[in-house]
Each structure stands twice: as structure tokens, then as C-alpha cells.
Amino acid sequence: MEKLFFLMFAAVAIASGLAVVTVRNPVHSALALIVCLIQVAALFVLLRSPFLAAVQIFIYVGAVMVLFLFVVLILDMRKAVLQAFPPVKKRFVVGVILVLSAQMVAFVFLTPMGLGPAQGWEPTVESIGRVLFTKYLFPFEVVSVILLAALVAAIVIAKERQ
Amino acid sequence: MNSEVAAFFSPGDFLAILPEMVIAGMACLLLLVDIAVPRTKKCVVPALAVLSVAVAAWFSYELAGSGVSAFSGMFVLDGYSDFFKLIFYIVAVFAILVSLRYIRTEEIDLGEYYVLLLFSLSGMMIMASGTDLLTIYLGLELASLPVYALVGFLQKSRKSNEAAMKYIILGAFSSAILLYGISLIYGLTGTTQLAAISAALVTGDVNGPLFTLAVIMLVAGFGFKVAGFPFHMWAPDAYEGAPTPITAFMAAGPKAAAFAVIMRVFLEGLYPAYDSWQMAIAAVAVGSMVVGNITAILQTSIKRMLAFSSVGHAGYALLGLVAGSEEGMASVMFYLFVYAFMNLGIFGIVIMMRKDSQSGDQISHYTGLGKSNRLTALAMLIFLFSLAGIPPTAGFIAKFYVFMALINKGMVGLAVIAALMSAVAAYYYIRIVMLMYMREPEKEFALASSRGLLCVLIIALAAVVALGVYPGYFIDLARYAAFPL
Amino acid sequence: MPDTAILLEVLVIVVKVSVICGILFGLPLPLTWLERKVAGHIQVRLGPWRVGPHGVLQPFADMVKLLIKEDIVPDRADKFLFKLAPLLSMIPAFLVFVAIPFGEKFAIPFIGNEITLYISDMNVGILYILAIGGLGIYGMILGGWASNSKYSLLGGLRSSAQMISYEVSMSFAAIGVVMLTDSLNLLEMVRSQSGSFLDWNIFYLPVGPVWFVIFMISALAEINRIPFDLPEDEGTLAAGFHTEYSGMRFSFFMLAEYVAMVTIAVLTVVMFLGGWNPPLDISIFHLVPPIFWFLGKVVLFIYFFMWLRFTLPRYRYDQLMAIGWKVLIPLSLVTILVTGLMKI
């Protein structure tokens, strides 16, 4: 039963992921990305991590993608809609990508997966918070500095200067 | 502190990251200082930035050699990280000093410029000290993100905007590839700590096709960060469009940090799988030397030429990694140390050529410099010789030690290719020397010198000559700092 | 052959879901009537009067009107998204109710079986509600864009900017309540507020009232109610993102809006007003089934929203942004700090 759900979510995720890059209209692309992110959230639920699933939807679908759409809607996309995908002259690139991805899939299936699921650790909100502030305290703080730096960088780039 | 928390870190751990905290903290503080000081006294911000680097350097000096592993093995203070931090401090201070006048000429004198430089510096320091793929990746992002913005700092210049756009998109792409590699390594070994990965590689049976895939991803991701062939496509555009001090900073700072990380990951974490990554790195190294040096010949813009030359230099440095010995590691460290000086020096002169309406970024602009401005031309000559690897400059010694490391491991073929490529490189470096000395100047040169810039040029010049004549102390330092394999 | 216990459980869930869906679908009928009546009386007039006694049948007449109205899809609209948008706005509004508790266990008379008054007792309930509730915005943006009309597009853009801005302070308010009650679970939240009204989070001095005000203001903006109904500002944008919609598709948007209003009222009651706990811990109050306390408080809040709508003028757009970013977010950050210090 669980396997069935996994295959369903995974298949939709891959299909919508492909749609993101192949669909011509940027708005449809964004929509496909939303679908893809929701499927990933569903996979988190299957992995017994409802917290991560909720956060995934909250942050990616609820905030990041809204901003994406916001920007896309402001742009003039009549040109983008008219362009053929993949670009006609570079169709052979698609072939190369297909071969490479087939190779990657083969690599994945050829490798025996030794490690089982992590034991004795429930991904509850409490335990996630606990490791974030103990074992992973240093990376956690570095992330906060990165966010601040990114904020400053974005403002510097976007702000009108006199 | 309760016992549960104490199991993961102690007050000593915070002492270990004191230099990083100083830099990141000062970056935050400078944001506020910048608002507080009036426009006429803006030199307070760079002065404080230099001061904070000095304070951090002093802390690093005090902490040096303690060998502390902090935050449950995610961060380490060893000789290796101290050596790289020394390079970063020098590069950061030089970058600030050469910017002082330049950013006023370009009308981009915002306090955020220095703040972003400091943020990037703190990221580089974390990269050098990271012993966990997680910390390494975060350090990498912290070092790159501010640089993306700095590349696009010339808001009015289309080239600068284009450069920032290309750099950020390709940078994000390479980060994704790198993360995929890291996630595969994590999936295969069950850990992100380099020491534990190494142990898992020795004991466990992980050398499957998937591991190869992970190694390829890591090589591609890191290859982008050092601008090695075939992941160097962004470099010429980004180097050309960026404000010149930032170009100098990128070529010396974040690149050295990326090398610090590459050597840490491949020689500490993945050393047991040496056979599976050696060929990939060697291919990138040879490709970078050949493509970088040959394409550099065709350039007319000096910044583009130096960009391709830096691709070539990345190739030489990667050869030291291919050798896979402690000697090779030390040779790379020395190479990067020397490269920081010669790179900052030559870019310092390019910055000097930028005055008022004179852009000074074409090679032809240097025609006849030797006739009118003897000292500047002489300095340029020495830096060019050093980049080409002509004795008795430091560039020669640096290359020499890399070749030695290769030959000692029996990789004579690679050493021969590298030597041949140095000869090719000498062609385009010496072409500029010819232009400077053999032709008459077309017009008067106006040089934008400033005290900070002169300071950097004199120190860099002294270092390039001194390291070329008497390299012993720093070679020993690099040997001592290299971590044991 | 699955045994009967599981079958029964599935059956109970199916019944609960259908009951809630039925209630939610029927909700606009009384609510529109109420809204128009409240409007009428506040403005010293009668409101709906003709259809049925006191106009109670007016919503049915409206329903018939909406059902038989022509369904217009504008020329050169993105047909697929145009038709999808009302559903995108309606479905999340309904999905939220999976996690909302209406009370503790409840014994069915005559059978003696106990059933719970919630569909799913989620560990991350509040997060789920905020996350799923936030998805309704896609209906507005995509509907506005797909209509291929200036007014609709501007309405959609306004609503996305507004909701993103206020989602931050609303989530901060939720974090504040989570800090006060030590749980993300809505049932736990209500349980921790049992006792007299002084135990309710709104009276958790000094931060409780501040959180309540922050939540109230940002929630009003989230559900596009006056004084924050900029996305459908008649004066400048016709009807905003749903200008081009008619008939059933239009009514889906209205339905989503009313359901969102109820959701916010329910959340306020659960988070700040003790849920189904009676205001005083005395035996007379406990005779009344908890669900009545709960629904009573909810209705009170719905009335409050309507009251606001006909009392306050609409903000200008820059004022809206200034309130969100320059007042509410800094205030919430400070309040988080104070709350954290109080919980040490």
C-alpha cells in the first residue's frame, strides 16, 4: 500500500518536474513546480515526517512560489510563450541529456543500497528542534548569517541609487 | 549549561570560532555604522573593516596550533586552516585597500561593499575550517552569495549586470550539483563528517557505481568554484564585468577557499578512494591548463586575459592535488599563497589604470607604459614574470614545487604537459611586456594611485621577489601546516 | 476481509467529512443573509425583507440566480487556468477543516459509542492549517492572471503581495501561541487553556493581548476583509481578481472567502479564547455541551468581522504595506523575545 502511494507521488513529482522545463508558458511552469513541491511534501508524510511536510508546503509552496509567480506575472511573457522548446538548433542536447540521465538511473540501480532507515529516532518537532540546537548548532547559526548576507546582497542589487 | 547540551559543545568551542564571529559580527555592526556616519566620513567603514580583519587575524594567531575540533567534529582549528586563513586575511585587506579609490571613481562607494566583503571572508574561513560536508557547503554559500552581489555592484554597467546574472545562475546550478553529490555520499556512508566518511570507505563496501557518480558530482561542483575546465565558462564574463578589485578578490580569495575545501574533502574524506577520483581531477587539471592558457592568447581585454590565466593557474594547483601526497598538498598551499600576492599585485596595476574616462581594461592601453611610467611598468613586469613562472620570482618556485611533487610520485607525463603549458603562458604574458617597453606611448597616462593601492603594490612586489629568492620559511610553513594523510 | 472495527472507523471518517463538507457548502446561505442584515441595521435600514420572513429566503433566491446565470469565459483567457482557479481557491479552504477540532470526545446517544469531534488529531495541526490555508492565494493570483484583464491581474498581484506580507506576522502570532502552550497540536492548545477565562491565552499577560491583536489584524488581511480588502477594491479595480467571473465559478470564490472567514474565527477561538472551555469553571456552565460554547464564540467573532466591515474605511495600499512590514513584524519580533523571556 505504502509502496503504491510512493510510486504515485514519485511519478507525479517527476512528471511535473519535467513539465516545469518543457512547458512553454512560464505561469504553467510555475504551476507544475508547485505540483512537484506538493508531491515532495507528500513523500515526507510517507517518511513519517509530518513536520517537514508542513514546512515544505508552508515555505516553498506558500511563500517562495507565490513570489515566483508574482515576478513572472509582472514580466512580459508573450515572447517566452512563442519560443519553441527545446530550442530547434539544440535538439541534440536533449539526446545527450537523455543518455546521461539513463546512465545515472543505471548507476543508481546497479548499486546495492546497504543502509536501512535510521533507527531509534522519531522525526518529531521536538527532536528536530533538539538536534538543531545541539548537534547542528554551528551550521544552524551559519545559515542565519547566510540569510542576512543574502538579504543585504539582494537589497544592494535591487535598490535604486541616486 | 545543562548536561544534555554540554555533550555537544563546550565554551571552548565558541573560543575556536572567535575569529569567524569577529568578522561576521563586525559585518553586521558595519551595516549600522554605515548608516550612522555622515557621507563625508565614509572612510570610517573600510578602516573598521581592516581593523576587524586585523583583530580576527590576531585571534587566529593566538589560537593557532591548538588543534581543537569543535561542535562535534564539524569545525577544526588546525595548521591547515590557519594557513589558509592567513591567505584570506591578506586577500581581504588587500581587496579593501585597492577598492578605496576605485569605488569612488565608479561611484559605487556604499558601505555595503565592505560589509559584503567581510561576509564573504567569514564564509571562506568557515570553508577552511569545515570538517563536515554540511559546514563546508554552508561556508561555500556564505563565501559565494556576497560575491554574486559584488560582481553586479556596477549597477549602471550592463556588463556588470550580465556578469552577476551569469555567475549567480551558474553558481546556483553548481551548488545544486555539489549538494546532489554530498547527498549521495551521505546516503552511501551514512555520515557527512569527513573522518567518518574516510572510515566508512575503508571498512564498508561503498565503491559502487553510485559512489563514482557522487565523486563526479563533487568534482563538477568544486570544479565550478575554482573555475576549472570544463566548468570555467562563467569566469571570463564574471571577471570582466565585475569591479576590478572584486575580480582580484574572486581570483585569489574564494578560489583559494575552494582549493582548501577540495583538498580537505578529497585528501581527508575520500582519500581511501584515491584511485576513483585521481583521473577525474587530473583531467580537469590538464583541461584547465590547456584551454585556459591557449584561450588567454586570443584575448584583447586584460581582465579577460587574466581570467583565462587564472583558469590555467587553477589547473597547475589541481596537479598538486592529483599527486595525492603531503608534499603535493604543501605545494598547492604555497602556490595559492604566492598566487594571492601576484594576482592582487597585477590587478592593483589594472585598477591604477582606471581613472576618469580612461577605462584601462584593454591590453592595448598598456602600449608604451614603460617609457613614461618606469616604476609602474617595472612592477607590472615583475608580476607578469611571476605569473609566467620565470625565475627568480615566486611564481617559478610555486610551479617548481608542484612539479616536484608530481615527479616524486612518478607522474612525469603530467609534469611535462604542465611545463609545456607554462611555455605557452609565457607567450601572452611577455606580449604585454613587449607592448610596454618596445612601443611608443600613444598618449599621456593618467594613473589613479592612492596610498592604499601603493601600499598593496609595494607589499605584493616585495613578497613576490622575496618568496622567489628565499622561499624556505614559507615552504616549511606549508609543509608543517599540511594535515597528515 | 478487513474486520468490522476498521470498516466502522472508515465509515465514521467518511460521515464526518461529508457532514463538514455539507455544513461548509451550506454556510454561505446563512452568512450572506446575516451579513446583509448586519449591514442593513448598522446603516439604519432593513436589509433583505421581501423573500420570506425577514428575508431569510433571500440567499436561496440568490443561489438560484447564480446557478442559472450564464457561465462566461472571457475571450483569449487561459481557459484551463481560468476554470481551475476557483477550485484552487476553494479546495484548500475545505482541506483546512481536516485539522480543526470542534471538541473532545462525544458520546452518541442511544448507541453509546464515543466519537471524536475532529477528523484528524495532527501533531503539527497549527502548522498544517497555516500552510494549507496559505494555498488559497493561488486561486486569486491564477484567476486574476488567467482572466486576461487589467483589473483582474492587478487584483491578483495585490492579493499576493498582501497575503505574503501578512502571512509573516500571522505565523509569528501562531508561533507566539505555540510558545505559550508548548504545543503545535490544536487539542493540546485548548486543553492548556482549561479553567476560567483568565487561563485563556488572550489573558496571558502581558503578551497574550498583543498576540491577539497581531493575529486579528493580520488574519483580517489574510482573508481580504475590510479594512484590508484592497484586492477587490471596487473604487479602483472593479471587483479585483474575480472581475471576469460569473455564475457558479464566481460563487466558488465567494464560498472560499466565507469558509476562510469561519476558519479564522475558529482559529482565534482555539488559539486565544479557550476553545470549547466555558468562561468560568463552575458547574452550571459545564451543563452546557462544550460544542455550544465553541460555536457561540465562533459566531461572536463572525459577527465581529461583519461589524468591522461596515464600520471601518479601507486602507490605502501603501498604508497596508506599512502596517504589515513596519508595525506588525517588528512588534511580533519584540513580542517573541518577551514571550521567550517569560518562558525561561
Q: Determine whether the interchain pair A138/B71 forms a contact, defined as Cβ–Cβ distance below 8 Å.
A: yes
Residue A107 vs residue B89, higher pLDDT:
B89
Cβ A139 vs Cβ B235: under 8 Å:
no
Which positions in chain B touch A143 (Cβ < 8 Å)? 138
Q: Would you state the cell numbers that stand for residue B12, as one nine-digit string?
A: 571552548
Q: What single string gives the DSSP state of each residue in B170-228?
A: HHHHHHHHHHHHHHHHHHHHS--BHHHHHHHHHHS---SHHHHHHHHHHHHHHHHHTT-
pLDDT surpassing 90 at residue A143: yes
Report yes or no on chains B and C touching (3+ CB pairs under 8 A).
no
pLDDT confidence of residue C235: 63
The set of long-range contacts for B42-48, using a CB threshold of 8 Å and a minimum separation of 24, is B42/B109, B42/B111, B43/B100, B45/B111, B45/B114, B45/B115, B46/B96, B46/B99, B46/B100, B46/B114
Residue C173's nearest CA partner among C272, C255, C292 is C272
pLDDT confidence of residue A160: 75
For chain A, the C-alpha Rg in angstroms (whole number) is 20
Residue A158, chain B, CB below 8 Å: the answer is: no
Q: Determine whether the interchain pair A137/B110 forms a contact, defined as Cβ–Cβ distance below 8 Å.
A: no
pLDDT confidence of residue B191: 85
Candidates C127, C175, C343: best to mutate against A (most CBs of A within 10 A) is C127
Q: Which of A50, A54, A73 sits opposite C145 (nearest CB)?
A: A73
Q: Would you state the cell numbers that stand for residue B194, as one nine-digit string?
A: 569527513
Cβ B148 vs Cβ B171: under 8 Å:
yes
Cβ B63 vs Cβ B15: under 8 Å:
yes
Q: Would you tell me the crossing angle of helices B111-129 and B133-151 to the nearest 10 degrees? A: 160
Among chain B residues, CA nearest to A133? B5
Amino acid at B300: T
pLDDT tens profile C213-247:
999 999 988 888 878 877 666 666 666 777 778 77
Give CA separation, C134 vs C86, C223, C317, in Å: 15, 10, 21
For chain B, the C-alpha Rg in angstroms (whole number) is 22
Q: Determine whether the interchain pair C132/A57 forms a contact, defined as Cβ–Cβ distance below 8 Å.
A: yes
Regions of chain B where pLDDT drops below 50 = 1
pLDDT confidence of residue B484: 79
| Closest CA of chain B from A132, distance in Å | 11
Q: Would you state the cell numbers that stand for residue B452, as one nine-digit string?
A: 592604499
Residue B95's SS3 state is: helix
Whether the CA torsion C171, C173, C175, C178 is positive or negative: it is negative
Report the alpha-carbon angle B9-B10-B13, nearest 5: 80
Kindly indicate the confidence band of residue C65, based on its pLDDT and cuts at 50, 70 and 90. Answer: confident
Cβ atoms within 10 Å of B280's Cβ, excluding its own: 18
pLDDT tens profile C121-163:
778 888 889 888 888 888 888 888 888 787 888 888 888 888 8
Residue B75, chain A, CB below 8 Å: the answer is: yes
Which positions in chain A touch B132 (Cβ < 8 Å)? 139
Q: Distance between alpha carbon B239 and the CA centroid of its chain, in Å?
A: 13
How does the average pLDDT of chain B come out, rounded?
A: 88
**Distance, CA of B132 to CA of B193 (rounded, Å):** 4
Q: Determine whether the interchain pair A114/B204 forms a contact, defined as Cβ–Cβ distance below 8 Å.
A: yes
Give strand pairing partners of C106: C115
- Please, what's the b/e burial string for A53-66 (b: 16 or more CB within 10 A of its CB; e: otherwise)? bbbbbbebbbbebb
Q: What single string gives the DSSP state of each residue in C157-185?
A: HHHHHHHHHHHHHHHHHHHHHHHHHT-S-
Give strand pairing partners of C193: none
pLDDT confidence of residue A146: 95
Residue A12 vs residue B374, higher pLDDT:
A12
**Distance, CA of B115 to CA of B132 (rounded, Å):** 27
Q: Determine whether the interchain pair C135/A74 forms a contact, defined as Cβ–Cβ distance below 8 Å.
A: no
Cβ A73 vs Cβ C145: under 8 Å:
yes
Cβ A83 vs Cβ A24: under 8 Å:
yes
Report yes or no on chains C and A touching (3+ CB pairs under 8 A).
yes
pLDDT confidence of residue A81: 65
Where residue C247 falls (left for φ over 0; alpha for ψ -120 to 50; beta otherwise) is left
**Distance, CA of C59 to CA of B27 (rounded, Å):** 61
Q: Determine whether the interchain pair A57/C138 forms a contact, defined as Cβ–Cβ distance below 8 Å.
A: no
pLDDT confidence of residue B289: 92
Cβ atoms within 10 Å of C337's Cβ, excluding its own: 11
Q: Determine whether the interchain pair B138/A143 forms a contact, defined as Cβ–Cβ distance below 8 Å.
A: yes
**Distance, CA of B446 to CA of C269 (rounded, Å):** 74
Which positions in chain A touch C153 (Cβ < 8 Å)? 73
Residue B97's SS3 state is: helix
Q: Determine whether the interchain pair C123/A54 forms a contact, defined as Cβ–Cβ distance below 8 Å.
A: no
pLDDT tens profile B267-296:
988 888 888 888 899 999 999 999 999 999
pLDDT tens profile C185-212:
888 888 888 877 788 888 887 888 999 9
Which positions in chain B touch A138 (Cβ < 8 Å)? 9, 13, 17, 70-71, 74-75, 135
Report yes or no on chains A and B touching (3+ CB pairs under 8 A).
yes
Residue B358's SS3 state is: strand
Q: Is B182 exposed, middle or buried (0-12, 13-18, 19+ CB in 10 A)?
A: buried
pLDDT tens profile C27-47:
888 888 888 888 888 888 888
pLDDT confidence of residue A73: 82
Say whether the peptide bond before residue B272 is cis (omega within 30 degrees of 0): no
A1-108 fold: Four Helix Bundle (Hemerythrin (Met), subunit A) (1.20.120)
Half-sphere exposure of B40 (CA within 13 A, CB side): 0
pLDDT surpassing 80 at residue C92: yes
Kindly indicate the confidence band of residue C334, based on its pLDDT and cuts at 50, 70 and 90. Answer: very high
Which positions in chain A touch B13 (Cβ < 8 Å)? 138
Amino acid at B451: R
Instruction: For residue C116, give the H/E element and its range.
Output: strand C114-116
Which positions in chain B touch A112 (Cβ < 8 Å)? 208
Among chain A residues, CA nearest to B10? A134
Q: Give φ, ψ of B130 to 5 degrees.
A: -70, 130
Residue B149's nearest CA partner among B174, B127, B117 is B117
Amino acid at B463: A
Q: Give φ, ψ of C335 to 5 degrees.
A: -65, -35
Which positions in chain A touch C145 (Cβ < 8 Å)? 27, 73
Instruction: For residue C107, give the H/E element and its range.
Output: strand C105-107
Q: Are strands C105-107 and C114-116 parallel, antiparallel or unpaired?
A: antiparallel
Residue B71's SS3 state is: coil
Whether the CA torsion C162, C164, C168, C171 is positive or negative: it is positive
Name the residue ranges covered by the structural domains of chain A.
Answer: 1-108, 124-162
> Who contacts B355 (Cβ-Cβ below 8 Å, separation ≥6)?
B105, B446, B447, B448
Residue A55, chain C, CB below 8 Å: the answer is: yes
Please name the chains neighbouring C, where neighbouring means 3+ C-beta pairs under 8 angstroms. A
Q: Would you tell me the crossing angle of helices C247-272 and C58-68 to the nearest 10 degrees? A: 130
pLDDT confidence of residue C109: 67
Per the document, the length of chain B is: 485
Residue located via cell numbers 609602474? B376
Cβ C99 vs Cβ C122: under 8 Å:
yes
Q: Determine whether the interchain pair A62/C135 forms a contact, defined as Cβ–Cβ distance below 8 Å.
A: yes
Q: Are strands B75-76 and B69-70 parallel, antiparallel or unpaired?
A: antiparallel
Q: Are strands B75-76 and C105-107 parallel, antiparallel or unpaired?
A: unpaired
Name the residue ranges covered by the structural domains of chain B.
Answer: 7-481
pLDDT tens profile C245-297:
877 888 888 888 889 889 999 999 988 888 888 888 788 877 778 888 888 99
Residue B396 vs residue C12, higher pLDDT:
B396
Cβ atoms within 10 Å of A139's Cβ, excluding its own: 21
> Who contacts A116 (Cβ-Cβ below 8 Å, separation ≥6)?
none
pLDDT surpassing 80 at residue C98: yes
pLDDT confidence of residue B410: 86
**Distance, CA of C334 to CA of C313 (rounded, Å):** 29
> Who contacts A95 (Cβ-Cβ below 8 Å, separation ≥6)?
none
pLDDT confidence of residue B291: 92
* Interface pTM, i.e. ipTM: 0.89
Q: Would you state the cell numbers that stand for residue B367, as one nine-digit string?
A: 602600449
Q: Distance between alpha carbon B436 and the CA centroid of its chain, in Å?
A: 28
pLDDT confidence of residue B458: 92
**Distance, CA of B248 to CA of B309 (rounded, Å):** 13
Which positions in chain A touch B146 (Cβ < 8 Å)? 149, 152-153
Q: What single string gives the DSSP state of each residue in A44-97?
A: HHHTT-HHHHHHHIIIIIIIIHHHHHHHHHHS--HHHHHS-SS-GGGHHHHHHH
Amino acid at C164: I
Cβ B45 vs Cβ B74: under 8 Å:
no
